[in-house]
Amino acid sequence: MAGLFAKLKEGLTKTRENFVGRIEEVFTGRKRIDEELYEELEEVLIRSDVGVNTAFELVERLRKEVKKQKISQPSELYQVLQELITELLGEEETLTLAKQGPSIILVVGVNGVGKTTTIGKLANRLKKDGKRVIMVAGDTFRAAAIDQLEVWGERAGIEVIKQREGADPAAVAYDAVQAAKSRGIDVVLVDTAGRLHNKVNLMEELRKVKRVIEREIPGAPHEVLLVLDATTGQNALQQAKLFQEVAGVTGIVLTKLDGTAKGGVVLGIKGETRIPVKWIGIGEGIEDLRSFVPKDFAAALFNRPDGEGAF
């Protein structure tokens, strides 16, 4: 576990410098907790891609804790803020899988966020956990998406169900479900198109795919995972809101956390959509997709693995 924490801490270096570094500037050198401190903290949180509503919520919670615990020293606020952030992020939430029969996981998101790569990494992880997995090239509008998924299939030793470019995504999903049922597959990971320029088309396509899947396996899909690119900051938050509306998102995968100073968006996503972040990407390697553990994320963000001391 120490190795995992070190990797997470390293991956969050830019975010920590941007997020906690600014918070440190607010708290350091002050002799008392006053209104100016709260206002500056709120501004820092907003500038760190936490989102306006979530920033306001955190500061209000901090005010209450200061009164409740009778805190007088600004230096004591680090620990309290870490605890509030952990509380906001909630408990660790794992993938929802079917109790019997194949589990169907739809993976949605705009192009360029690392969706296909995420599917490959997640498939590899599930296979290592002893699951029989297939991947489905449901983004039939881009030949590159089909080819990329096949590369990951070869890399991880996992079969890819596909049809020709331009085929009906629902038909590909149907083939995959039939294959899963006949072969005793445990998990089916379905890639989907990431077009956002026409929300109506995207919505109808996803509805059709879901309808076909549910007809074959009642209660499916068991998860709708939204892949977001952490480097896009507030754009990722807006995408979360839109896909929540059109796709019924049940969990989020946040990629590229290791290459951004905008990791604060994790808080905004959870605070403003209430959708749990279930996986995070903290590197390019096939093993660098990790389960999201809120308390570890908060501890790594504040550089406090033991919960004591600062920076």
Q: Using one digit for the tens of pLDDT, what is the confidence trace for 1-20?
A: 456 678 788 888 888 888 88
Half-sphere exposure of 36 (CA within 13 A, CB side): 6
Mean pLDDT across the chain? 89
Rounded to an integer, the average pLDDT of 184-212 is 85
Highest mean pLDDT out of 56-65, 110-119, 242-251, 259-268: 56-65
pLDDT at 306 over 50: no
Exposed/middle/buried for residue 282 (C-beta within 10 Å: 0-12, 13-18, 19+): buried
In angstroms, the CA 172 to CA 192 distance is 10
Q: Using one digit for the tens of pLDDT, what is the confidence trace for 245-278?
A: 888 899 999 998 887 888 889 999 999 999 999 9
pLDDT at 310 over 50: no
Query: Which of 27-36, 67-76, 151-160, 301-310 shows the lowest mean pLDDT across its residues?
Result: 301-310
Tell me the domains of the chain and their CATH numbers.
2-92 (1.20.120.140), 103-293 (3.40.50.300)
Residue 18 neighbours by CB under 8 Å, 6+ apart: 48, 261, 262, 264
> What is the pLDDT at residue 55?
95
Rounded to an integer, the average pLDDT of 132-157 is 93
**With contact defined as beta carbons under 8 Å apart, do 257 and 15 qualify?**
yes
pLDDT at 286 over 60: yes
Q: How far is CA 238 from the centre of its chain?
A: 14
More confident site: 153 or 307: 153
> What is the pLDDT at residue 308?
40
Backbone angles phi, psi at 226, to 5 degrees: -100, 125
Count the Cβ atoms, other than its own, within 10 Å of residue 166.
Answer: 9
In angstroms, the CA 223 to CA 85 distance is 25
What is the torsional sign of CA 109, 114, 120, 123? negative
**With contact defined as beta carbons under 8 Å apart, do 186 and 131 qualify?**
yes
Query: Which of 47-61, 114-128, 254-268 shows the lowest mean pLDDT across its residues?
Result: 254-268
pLDDT band at 305 (very low <50, low <70, confident <90, very high): very low
Q: Residues 111-120, buried b or exposed e (16+ Cβ, 10 A)?
A: eebbbbbbbb
In angstroms, the CA 187 to CA 304 distance is 36
Q: Using one digit for the tens of pLDDT, what is the confidence trace for 74-100?
A: 989 988 998 999 999 999 999 999 999
Whether cis (ω within 30° of 0) applies to the bond prior to 221 is yes
SS3 271: helix
Q: Helices in 70-198 by DSSP H: which ranges?
A: 77-89, 115-128, 143-156, 169-183
Q: How far is CA 131 from the centre of its chain?
A: 22
More confident site: 213 or 238: 213
